[in-house]
Structures are given as C-alpha cells and as structure tokens.
Structure 1
Amino acid sequence: MYSESDLQAAVDAKVLTPEAALAFRSHIASVRAAPGADEESFRLITGFNDIFVSIAAVILLVAVGWIGASIHPALGGAFVAGSAWLLAEYFTRQRRMALPSIVLVLAFSGGVCATMIGFLVKHGEDIFGHNPGETTLAVVAGAIAAVTAGATWLHWKRFMVPITVAAGTAALAATAVALVLAITGAPGPDGTLPMTLVLIAGLGVFTLAMWWDRSDRVRQTRRSDVAFWLHLLAAPMIAHPIFHLLGVTRGDDIGSAAAVMVIGVYILFGLIALAIDRRALLVSALAYVLFAMTQLFNTFGAVELNVALTAFVIGSALLLLSAFWQNARAVVVGFLPDNLANQLPATTRTVSLQPAS
C-alpha cells in the first residue's frame, strides 16, 4: 500500500527516522527474499477510492470535452486540459492519489494536443490549403508535439507526477521523428525510415530511463518511478521497429530463420531486462515471440497444438524466470565489468540498504 516514495516522504517530513525506514525496508526485503529494487514497485492504486475517483474524473472530462467540442472543435481539448489541471490541484497536489494523477496528466497532455488538432480541423484548410504537402504535415505534427511537450513540462514542474516525464518525452520523440521526416520527405511504402527513426528515439528514451535509474539504485524515491514509466515507453519503441525490420509484421508466414532470429532477439531482451532489472522489454516483445514460436511449431508439424504449445513454453519460461529472477540477475550482472555493474540496480548479493539522503 505504501511505496518507497511514501516512505522517503515520511522521512523528509520527520514522521519516521531514517533508521526506522531502513529497518522497515530491511524487514520487507528479508520477508520477500529480495531487495525492494528487484520488485520494481511503483504507485498505481492506493485503494479502491483511486478507481472511484478515476472513473468519476473520466466521466467529467468526457462531458466537458463533449460540451467544448459542440461550441468549437478546439474547445473540446481545451476544456479537457483545463479541467484536468484544476482537478490535479486537489487530487494530485493535495490528496496525492496515484491512479487519478496518472489519468489527469494523460488527459491534460491529450487535451493540449487535441486543442491544436481541433483548431486545424476547423481552420487548417484555410491556412494550409486543400492539399498540403507531406513536408507541411510533418512540420505541423512536429509543432503540435513540441507544444504538447512544453505543456507537459509545466505540468511536471507543478505536480511532479512520475508518468509526466514519459508523456513529455514521448511528445519530444514525436517532434524529432516528424521533423526528420519533414526534412527527408515522404517515407517509402515499406516504412523502413519511420521505423528506424522510432528505434533511434526509443534508444534515446532508454538512455534517459537509465539515467534516472542510475540516480536511485535502491529505488527508494520518485526518480525510480520516473524511470519505470520511461522504460515502459522505450520498450515498444525499441521492440516494434526491430521486429518490423526483421519482417515479422509484414505477413502471416515469417519462415523458420526469421522465427529463430525473433527468439534470439527476445533472449537478448531478457538478458538486458535482467541486467537493468526492468521487465518492460520482455512484455513489449511478448506478442512477437509468441507469433514466432507458433510459426516454428507449425513448421515442425504441430499444427493443431501450435498455439497451445507456444503458450505453454513461453508461460512456463516466464514463470520460472520470475521465480528465480534475483538469482538470474546475480549471474548476469556478475559477468559485467565492475564499473558497469556498479551503475545498475543492486542485486541480492550486493544490495546494501542505506538511509536515503
């Protein structure tokens, strides 16, 4: 029910002493046979009231967006963004409710973006003509993403909701991709250029996530939550382009060689996930490896049970990995150079809980 950020906030407010918080963390780590860092905890729901408030907020935001859109297409998004900010003043800034805060920041960012899109729907043809070129569209998309990123940054400065950094980073990544496409012209029909750009952006987001992770190796502060959402953003931006470039998304039959390559990439993702102690890469690539293994079983004659066999193998492997995650991490990290291993989240063999400063 209480996250590491809550414990640290209690220490900062002098409700708990650093020693008491350390003793509590040590107790939980011993009970779970793993340090808190290995649990990859983050705040999502503190109670059913979070769900209740989130549902009510969504209903209200849909209503104000509908009312605004009936007046002018741009006002729908503007009303949503403004309402989300006002609601966040209470439910985020004062009540510190987890799930409603996530809903409200996403609504705010989406509302800002929808405001500009609504304006273009109404007046875009008057400004850019009936048939604007691909370059113009890419520049406009980049401008919308850039403004959304700026608004999201203001939200972060005010409310400090961890997912806000990921939302703003996604907008910046979209800006960069759109601007490059605007400079290079329309992408080819195979989508190689956009996918390559998304992959590069994903690697950049991953690097940013690791920067946040490095600043809190024992995952006791809000910085770890920020890193979690950045990893969750980076994972599909890395996984989907790689498998697209391998040809997995282009047809129903990818062939045995491509299927083996997909499984090999997934194993590599697994090793990276173990090293950095983040599971997002494994989850994002799961659909592709399921498809690849289904094709392999089909190739070797298990046509009727190929889906069942695939689900059995992958499900069993992931459960075993989860059960022995800490031991597997210790092995993987043990093969890394000390200067690199010392920048990763601590393993069960190296963790040393200290009072956070």
Structure 2
Amino acid sequence: MPELKLILDEAEREGIIARQAADRLLPFLIARGVKVDQPSPELHRPLAPFSDTETPSFVRGFHDVLITIGIIVALAGLWGIASIYAVLPAIVVLAEVLVRRQRLALPAVALTIALAVWTASSAAQWLDDSLSFVAIGGNVALQYTLAFPVVLGLFYLLYRVPLALALTIMGAAVVFLQLVLRALGWLTGDPLFEVNHPLVLSIIAIACAVGLFALAMTFDLRDPLRRTVNSDVAFWLHLGAAPALLYSVISLAGLSGGTLAALQTVSFRTPVVIATVIALMLIGLVIDRRAFVTSGLVSLGFAVYGIFRQGDARVDTYIYITLLTVGVIVLVIGTGWMPLRRFVMRRLPVAIQEKLPPA
C-alpha cells in the first residue's frame, strides 16, 4: 500500500517514529487491513478540549532528565581536563547514540545547546576575540555570527533536532543583519555606519525580528494542534522572536539597545517597555504561546525596577516591589490563560480563529 508507506516514511523523517519501527509497522498495519482514505475535516479537529496546548515534546520523563544531567556533567569535565576541540567529537558520539539511535528528546536539546556554546567559544578563540563582546557590523562580527548557522545547520541535517533548526534560522537572521549593515556601510562610504546611524540600525533590527516572528508563525500555522515537529521548531523560534522584538523596539525608542543600565535610569521611557511587553502578551494569547509571553517577563521586571528606582522607595523596597509586580502578572496570566484567551479569540474574525489553536 504505497500511501501508507509514504505516511510512515514521512513520520520517520519527522522523528515521530524510528526507522526500525516504521519497517515493522507497515506489514503489521497491512495485515490488519488498515488503509488510507481521504482525510476527513473531522481529523483536523481536537479529540477533546485543550487544557494545555504548549507542552514541549522534549519534556518526557525523568529518564531523559537523568541522561541530560550526565551529558552536562561529562562535557563540563571533558572541557576542563582536555582542550576545547575534544568536546566536539564527544558531542557527535553522544548524538549518534542518544539522538540518532535512541531518539531521546531532552538529551538532543542539551547536545544542541552544548554545540552552540562550543561554536561560540571556538569562534571567539579562532578570531582572538572575547566572548563577552563582539562589535556589530565589523568583519569579526560577521565571521563570528556566520559560524552559528553553518555548524548548527549541519547538526540539524544530520540529526533533525528542532532546536538546531531554530538556532540555524536565528543565526541566519543575525548574519543577514550583518550583511545589510556591511552593504550600507560600503554604499555610504562609512565604515562605522551602524554607530553613526542608530535609527537605521533599529529599523533593520525590527524588520529582522518581525521576519523571525513571521517565520515562527509559518511553522505554527502548519500544525495548529501542536502534534508534529513543526510545533517544536515554532516553540524555539517564538522563544527567540519575543526578546528580539522587545529589544529592537526599545532600541528604536532610544533606550541604547535595551541595556540594563538604560532600563534602570530612564524612567520616563520605561512605559514604552511595559507597553511593548503588554502587546507581546496579547500576541502570545492570540497565538497560544506561553513561551512568547515568558521571554518578555524578565525585561518587564527590569522596566518596573527602573520606575520604582526613580521614586522614594528604598533599595530593598523597590526590588521587592518589582518582584511582586512581575510575580502577580505571571500568576494572573498563568492561572487565567484559557479564559483570557477565549475572551480575546471571540473578538477575532472567524477566518483567523480557524487557523489558530482552538480556545
């Protein structure tokens, strides 16, 4: 039955089932008369009302947690007693065993993050630069950022880890930003274009952040019921898109790129931060992405911290007030997510509601 085999092959490519399982499952299903019919519209509806549609697929059980702890400890020890170049073969060997053969999700995430850290450290060492700061717009920055989509892209092609694809896309967005700045610097004859034209830099950064969010929504709309690997890729892209949007808007508002010092001292601009975070929360409700909302909460805390610091409250008081404010917001959104989302969704056109996760 060719249609059934194609479906199983697609499931294997998406990492839903192992190759050995697909080979054994095909004759098993055929022997029991399973056939593929034209999908009914009912198949696209949830079997039951959603109580939580954003449970990351890499959170499966304590077995994965135990192995992930072992990965972190082992790689940290290897990094300490050997050179940085000994870590890469260890990551590849572990990925072959834990990702390709055993298909463990949380260890795959840990190995991807380890590879990203290794890439950052190696690129900084090769370029004789510091990990703490790499100036944007220069040759060093372009070479530094170029390493991420190349290395992580190869890792994704080998092991199909959703986080690797998301980091590849985000790295490519940063490389695109660098290339645009280099092109503008060459056209204007100004080698410090990004320093002398911060407004243009902020606008380009916002365009890249919006593009990243649009790409995340592309993956999300392919799987509104959150059942395939597209949802995992969208999860990680949203996690990066929200702070990118927030800090690019802060930069456009004149907050020096959204640094902590600016947020603490420019109290009359912090309402811009709060308004932006509220807008991100509204977007997160509409698309049903708690990760999108969560990634802006830390910046909201810094903004509220800046407001209270300009008042008469003592140091210990405004720190606690900041924590209390952020905590209350998190609790209100967390406990009332579904009612709030239903309230917002009822005010959207039906055509848009049908493309989004059900409320």
CA shift, 1:111, in A, is 3.3
Answer 1 or 2: higher relative contact order, Cα 8 Å, separation at least 6. Answer: 1
**1:81/1:112 contact within 8 Å kept:** no
- 1:25-104 to 2 correspondences below 5 Å: 26=47, 29=48, 34-35=49-50, 38-65=52-79, 69=83, 76-77=84-85, 79-104=86-111
Residue by residue, what CA displacement relative to the aligned partner does 1:54-99 show, whole Å, maximum 9, x if unpaired?
3332344345545663xxxxxx34x323321221011011222222
Task: Describe the shift of the 1:242–1:83 C-alpha distance in structure 2 as closer, same or farther (beyond 3 A).
Answer: same
2:341 maps to 329
1:219 maps to 226
Task: Describe the shift of the 1:91–1:264 C-alpha distance in structure 2 as closer, same or farther (beyond 3 A).
Answer: same
CA shift, 1:313, in A, is 3.6
Q: Could you tell me how far apart the structure 2 residues matched to 1:89 and 1:115 are?
A: 22
Partner-residue secondary structure (3-state), 1:39: coil
Q: TM-score, normalised by structure 2?
A: 0.73
**1:106/1:167 contact within 8 Å kept:** no
Residue by residue, what CA displacement relative to the aligned partner does 1:199-251 show, whole Å, maximum 9, x if unpaired?
32222211111000000001111111111011111111111222243326426
Question: What's the % identity of the aligned pairs?
Answer: 27
Partner-residue secondary structure (3-state), 2:225: coil
**1:239/1:284 contact within 8 Å kept:** no
Q: Could you tell me how far apart the structure 1 residues matched to 2:302 and 2:271 are?
A: 11
Residue by residue, what CA displacement relative to the aligned partner does 1:158-197 show, whole Å, maximum 9, x if unpaired?
2111111111112212211222232323232795555544
Q: CA RMSD in A?
A: 3.6
Partner-residue secondary structure (3-state), 1:155: helix
CA shift, 1:274, in A, is 0.5
Q: Could you tell me how far apart the structure 2 residues matched to 1:182 and 1:60 are?
A: 41
CA shift, 1:295, in A, is 4.6
CA shift, 1:308, in A, is 3.3
Alignment partner of 1:346 is 2:358: yes
1:320 maps to 332
CA shift, 1:296, in A, is 4.3
2:40 maps to none
Q: Could you tell me how far apart the structure 2 residues matched to 1:263 and 1:115 are?
A: 37
**1:290/1:311 contact within 8 Å kept:** yes
- 1:128-139 to 2 correspondences below 5 Å: 138-139=138-139
Task: Describe the shift of the 1:306–1:145 C-alpha distance in structure 2 as closer, same or farther (beyond 3 A).
Answer: closer
**2:305/2:318 contact within 8 Å kept:** yes
Count residues with an aligned counterpart: 311
CA shift, 1:100, in A, is 1.5
Amino acid at match of 2:70: A
**2:264/2:305 contact within 8 Å kept:** no
CA shift, 1:267, in A, is 1.8
Q: Could you tell me how far apart the structure 2 residues matched to 1:154 and 1:60 are?
A: 23
Amino acid at match of 1:327: P
Q: Could you tell me how far apart the structure 2 residues matched to 1:300 and 1:146 are?
A: 44
Alignment partner of 1:121 is 2:128: yes
Please point out which of 292, 295, 299 is paired with 1:288. 299
Please point out which of 255, 275, 294 is paired with 2:267. 255
- 1:139-178 to 2 correspondences below 5 Å: 139-178=139-178
2:275 maps to 264
Q: Could you tell me how far apart the structure 1 residues matched to 2:166 and 2:205 are?
A: 15
Residue by residue, what CA displacement relative to the aligned partner does 1:106-149 show, whole Å, maximum 9, x if unpaired?
22344345445434439xxxxxxxxxxx89x7345334433431
Please point out which of 250, 253, 275 is paired with 2:286. 275
Amino acid at match of 2:288: D
2:3 maps to none
Partner-residue secondary structure (3-state), 1:252: helix
**1:149/1:168 contact within 8 Å kept:** yes
Q: Could you tell me how far apart the structure 1 residues matched to 2:125 and 2:287 are?
A: 41
Amino acid at match of 2:50: P
Q: TM-score, normalised by structure 1?
A: 0.73
1:203 maps to 210
Structure 1 portions without partners, runs of 5+: 70-75, 123-133, 348-357
Partner-residue secondary structure (3-state), 1:167: helix
Partner-residue secondary structure (3-state), 1:200: helix
**2:277/2:296 contact within 8 Å kept:** yes
